[in-house]
Each structure stands twice: as C-alpha cells, then as structure tokens.
C-alpha cells in the first residue's frame, strides 16, 4: 500500500497534498496496490482526497496536530504506515515535509529520496526515482532498495488529476507527542505562497526605486501571479525578505517566471532555473539571464512592462 501524508495547514488540504495523492495513486498503480491518504488534526475537506486517487482517507483527529511538531507528526505517520503495511510513504517536499522526511525514514528503517520530480520506475523490489541536484545543474537517479521507501514530492512537479470520487474518512486513534510549543503562525492571506505559485513575476535592481513597483504588481494582478524579487532588492529592504527567490532565498519552480530588471547571477538562477518557462526583460542584451531564458525582451522595462500588461489584459478579456 502507498500511504500519502496530506498536509492541511489551518484546516484546509493544500494543493501540494492533492499533487502528492495524484503521485501516490500513480505509484500505487505501478506497484499493483492501493493508495491511502492520511490527514492530521482539524481538517474540513479530507474526503476530497478521494477525488485525486485515495481509495481511503485515514484521519487522526487530535487537535494538538494543528500545531506542527516534526517529532509528533513523524511518529503518527510511522505508526499508521506500520499498522497498514505501507511499502511507500509519499510526502510533499514542503516546509513540513522537509521537517519530517528524515525522521520518518529512520523510524521506518526506510530509504529516503527527497524532492523527487517524476514517477518512479519499478525494478524488482527496488524503486528508481529522479530529482534535480546541484541546485538545478544536474539530475540524479536514485535507487531505493529498502522494504519501506519514503519519497517527498517537489511542488508543481505533477498536476493534481481528478479521477475518482470523494471518499469517507475513517478515524484512527492516536495522540500527538511533541515538545515544540507553536506560539504564532504569521502568513500572508490571499496570496499563493512562492514555492506553490504557478506564475511568478519577479523584479530586481533594474527597477531603480521601490516606489516603481506598481507596474510589477499590476502585471502580477493581471496574471494572478505571486510577486518575488532578487537578493539585492531584499537586502536593500526595497521588498520584504519573504519575496527573495534564489539560492539563499526561496527556491521556486513555477510554470512561468517573468524576471524584470534582474541580471541573472548564478546564485539567482540556482533558485529559479527549474521554472518551466522563463521570460527575461532587461535593457542589457548581455545580461547572463538571457542565456537561461526561453523568451527575452531587450529594452526599457518602464516601457515594456506596462505594455505587456495591456496586451495580457486584452488577451484575458478575449479568453
């Protein structure tokens, strides 16, 4: 059986959890087995996981799980995996997944590959999976040969596929055993977080002044995109730190990344080069970013960005 841990921060199943269940279902099909999802704490829409491939949803209701503690969560997933005889456990490669993957692999005596980005291939009792390594500069194929295997799935690597129907949720008795006391969760409401965003509009020092960001925000609004920035912009406090994408900031892999007035230093590319399509707008035709781009526009961003926005609005109105 393939067990998928479905994250539900603030009571709602995340998009990345639907991706993980879709991945878990396809992996289960390859192995000729079923896919079961597990949710923890207070969850409003657990049954919906059935739509994306879970044949059953197990739920541990202890509200103590609403506050994240890697030790408690890993112990709960491991206990369910053992009770149910799971041979593969799938997590999201999110802040939560990264905190529990290592722990879970030790508890289950399982081989772990984190950040996988495609379906496994089955090779006898082993699984082969791929992930990007060296900050996007290479792809590694791993072989896992332990009885139980733990995989964490990179965000935006598979699309959630609605193939089934909602299922009933079965309660499993367990309590959270953690030692971390969560005091506060500060998140921006109404904005798709950068690691999960499908379209990202990002700007750099070419903007010249934080007061000029209106054109970037307008473009992001039209595209329903999340805004981001380069390191020098965050370091100069032109934009908040949580917008910083790149090696030291957040690594992202959207479908579309639009880089405005960013030269494309290797440290920046390391955080964005897994984007499916990259558009670069820069006045310097020699900017290194053009080498990593799919589409480029050489010119004055203060002219180009508003015009791109107008063209997009026209497109949106027609479609």
Partner 1 sequence: MKLLVCISQTPDTTAKVSFKSDGKEFDAAGVQFIMNPYDEWYALVRACELREALGGSVTALNVGPAANETTIRKALAIGADDAVRINADPKSAGFVAKQIAEYARSQNFDIIFFGKETIDYNGSEVGGMVAEYLELPYISYASKLELNGNTATLERDIEGGVEVSEVDLPFVVSASKGMAEQRIPNMRGIMTARTKPLVEVAPVDYEESAKAVQFTLPPAKAGVKLIDPENMDELVRLLHEEAKVI
Give the torsion sign (CA, 299, 300, 305, 310). Answer: negative
Separation in Å, CA 252 to CA 17, 247, 278, 284, 292: 17, 10, 12, 25, 15
Q: Closer CB to partner 1, residue 221 or residue 310?
A: 310
Q: Closer CB to partner 1, residue 59 or residue 107?
A: 107
How near is the Cβ of 36 to partner 1 at its closest, in Å? 23
Q: Closer CB to partner 1, residue 46 or residue 269?
A: 269
DSSP state of 64: G
How near is the Cβ of 1 to partner 1 at its closest, in Å? 19
How near is the Cβ of 165 to partner 1 at its closest, in Å? 29
Task: Collect all residues with Cβ–Cβ distance below 8 Å to 167 and sequence separation of at least 6.
Answer: 47, 49, 50, 54, 55, 56, 57
CB 229 within 8 A of CB 203: yes
How near is the Cβ of 34 to partner 1 at its closest, in Å? 24
Q: Closer CB to partner 1, residue 101 or residue 169?
A: 101
DSSP state of 225: P
How near is the Cβ of 61 to partner 1 at its closest, in Å? 22
Nearest alpha carbon to residue 243 among 229, 255, 259, 233: 229
Q: Closer CB to partner 1, residue 58 or residue 219?
A: 219
Q: Closer CB to partner 1, residue 167 or residue 200?
A: 200
Separation in Å, CA 170 to CA 47, 58, 175, 270: 10, 5, 16, 42
Q: Closer CB to partner 1, residue 37 or residue 308?
A: 308
Separation in Å, CA 124 to CA 59, 88, 108, 144, 146: 32, 14, 20, 11, 12
How near is the Cβ of 258 to partner 1 at its closest, in Å? 9
How near is the Cβ of 209 to partner 1 at its closest, in Å? 22
Q: DSSP labels for 262-276?
A: ----HHHHHHHTT-S
């Amino acid at each position: 059986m393939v067990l998928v841990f479905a994250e539900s921060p603030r009571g709602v199943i995340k998009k990345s959890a639907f991706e993980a269940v879709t991945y878990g279902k396809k992996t289960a099909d390859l192995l000729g087995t079923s896919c079961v999802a597990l949710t923890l704490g207070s969850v409003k829409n657990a049954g919906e996981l059935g739509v994306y491939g879970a044949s059953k949803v197990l739920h541990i209701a202890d509200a103590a799980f609403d506050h994240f503690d890697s030790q408690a969560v890993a112990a709960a997933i491991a206990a369910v995996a053992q009770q149910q005889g799971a041979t593969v456990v799938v997590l999201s490669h999110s802040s939560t997944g990264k905190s529990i993957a290592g722990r879970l692999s030790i508890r289950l005596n399982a081989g772990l590959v984190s950040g996988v980005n495609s379906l496994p291939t089955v090779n006898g009792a082993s699984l082969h999976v791929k992930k990007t390594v060296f900050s996007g500069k290479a792809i590694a194929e791993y072989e896992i040969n332990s009885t139980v295997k733990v995989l964490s799935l990179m965000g935006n690597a598979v699309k959630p596929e609605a193939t089934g129907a909602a299922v009933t949720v079965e309660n499993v008795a367990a309590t959270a055993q953690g030692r971390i006391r969560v005091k506060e969760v500060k998140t921006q409401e109404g904005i798709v977080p950068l690691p999960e965003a499908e379209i990202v509009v990002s700007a750099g020092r070419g903007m010249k002044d934080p007061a000029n960001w209106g054109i970037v925000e307008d473009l992001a609004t039209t595209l329903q995109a999340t805004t981001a920035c380069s390191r020098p912009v965050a370091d100069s406090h032109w934009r908040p730190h949580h917008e910083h994408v790149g090696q030291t900031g957040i690594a992202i892999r959207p479908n579309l990344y639009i880089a405005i007035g960013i030269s494309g230093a290797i440290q920046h590319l390391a955080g964005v080069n897994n984007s499916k399509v990259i558009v670069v707008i820069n006045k310097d035709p020699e900017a290194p970013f053009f080498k990593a781009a799919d589409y480029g526009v050489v010119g004055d961003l203060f002219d180009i960005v508003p015009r791109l926005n107008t063209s997009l609005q026209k497109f949106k109105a027609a479609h």
